[in-house]
Amino acid sequence: MYGNAYIDPNEKANGILAGEDPIKLKEFENRIARGEKIEPKDWMPKEYRKQLIRMIEQHAHSEIIGALPEGTWITRAPGFRRKMALMAKVQDEVGHAQLLYSAAETLGKSREDMTNDLIIGKSKYSNVFNYPAFTWADACIIAWLIDAGAIINQVANAKGSYGPYCRALDRICTEESFHLKYGHDNVVTLATGTPIQRKMVQEALTRWWPPIMHFFGPSDKISQHSEILMRWKVKMASNDDMRQQFLNMYVPKIWDLGLVLPDPNLKLNEETKKWDYTEPDWDEFKRVINGGGPCNAERLAVRRMAEERGRWVRKALLNKSEQYVTPLA
């Protein structure tokens, strides 16, 4: 699972091609325009490398941090089968992080540096994981709708230009389809269950709707420098387009279950064929992604604890005569 990579809208977009060899840049852009993939040792603009590292790294962190709120529900998942399924899902998410870290490593940032940037709070991860999962129903809503959003994002990005990222995403998307079905199954069970179960899932949905609307990132109106990233097939769809796609696919499924979404303005506009909705609170989004959310501190503290407690094992296994080599693909 994953949220769209966050790019600070205040960052300057000017001068990002300064100093690039114009001939090589042309060759690079032609290759992408022909639909060919870029491979790790190819020449690439500095900005392409930087944005890809940021994006893939954020994606990897999201998988790891996303597994934390879900992992805490394994022991409390109702029934043996759901415990097994949730364990499998959490293992998948951690596996996805491994695949993504590997893809980012091919661009020259070591896995240790990525972990360091995460645990000191320098790197971002998907904002939704800074919110708590209060009840079992929250875990079900996450598994269904957050993973649904992730799939929309990942299917789009799998058609991008960077070979290693695309290969990782193809593998990830296949596995996420189980997560989505598992999540949907759980939500349907609650929504078609007893009045108490229905109330629980409705409350979870109401809690999660604002973060879900934030999931694809700030509105295109306030998001800059997408154009060159779209041309380079780093970004494959605009934030608003992905949000529309999500609403199109899932609002009817939510309404099918007789659940209520906490936005009185949400409706399909018959003229534009797009969804109208209340503009999400982007100040809240910024506050939370910059550390002010209810769970930011807990997530990173737990991550640091895990890193520290595993350290002696990793050290004991290390063969000092070995050397790191950047992975090939």
Partner 1 sequence: MIKSLDPRITRENISENNTIDPLTPMDNWETYEVFHQKKRGDQHMHVGIVHAPNPEMALLFGKDQYGRRGITANIWVVKTANVFCTEYEDQDMFETTPEKQYREAGGYKVMDKINKYKKAQKA
Q: Which residues contribute to the site for partner 1 (CB under 8 A)?
A: 39, 41-42, 72, 75, 91, 95, 98-99, 102, 105, 110-113, 115-116, 119-120, 132-134, 167-168, 171, 175, 297-298, 301-302, 304-305, 307-308, 311, 314-315, 317-319, 322-329
Shortest separation between residue 101's beta carbon and partner 1, angstroms:
9
Question: Smallest distance, Å, CB 282 to partner 1?
Answer: 26
| Nearest-approach distance from CB 276 to partner 1, in angstroms | 34
> What is the nearest approach in angstroms of partner 1 to the Cβ of residue 131?
11
Q: Which is nearer to partner 1, 9 or 95 (CB)?
A: 95
Q: What is the 3-state secondary structure (H, E, C) of the chain?
A: CCCCCCCCCCCCCCCCCCCCCHHHHHHHHHHHHCCCCECCCCCCCHHHHHHHHHHHHHHHHHHHHHHHHHHCCCCCCCCHHHHHHHHHHHHHHHHHHHHHHHHHHCCCCCHHHHHHHHHCCCCCCCHHHHCCCCCHHHHHHHHHHHHHHHHHHHHHHCCCCEHHHHHHHHHHHHHHHHHHHHHHHHHHHHHCCCHHHHHHHHHHHHHHHHHHHHCCCCCCCCCCCHHHHHHCCCCCCCHHHHHHHHHHHHHHHHHHCCCCCCCCCCEEECCCCEEECCCCCHHHHHHHHHHHCCCHHHHHHHHHHHHHHHHHHHHHHCCCCCCCCCCCC
The nearer residue to partner 1, 20 or 42, going by C-beta atoms, is: 42
Q: Which is nearer to partner 1, 203 or 298 (CB)?
A: 298
**For residues 167-186, b (16+ Cβ closer than 10 Å) or e, as one string?**
bbbeebbebbeebbebbbeb
Backbone angles phi, psi at 267, to 5 degrees: -160, 155
Nearer to partner 1, 71 or 218 (CB): 71
Nearer to partner 1 by C-beta: 104 or 242?
A: 104
Q: How far is the CB of 223 from partner 1 (least distance, A)?
A: 32
| Residue 112 or 270 with smaller CB distance to partner 1 | 112
Closest to partner 1 by CB, 196 or 317? 317
Instruction: Decide whether 81 or 314 has the Cβ nearer to partner 1.
Output: 314
Nearer to partner 1 by Cβ, of 139 and 247: the residue is 139
Nearest approach in angstroms of CB 6 to partner 1 is: 23
CB of 278 to partner 1, least distance (A): 28
How many alpha carbons lie under 13 Å from residue 149 in its C-beta half-sphere? 28
101 within 8 A of 64, measured Cβ to Cβ: no
CB of 21 to partner 1, least distance (A): 14
Report how far residue 1's alpha carbon sits from residue 179's, in angstroms, rounded to the nearest whole number.
Answer: 9
Q: How far is the CB of 8 from partner 1 (least distance, A)?
A: 24
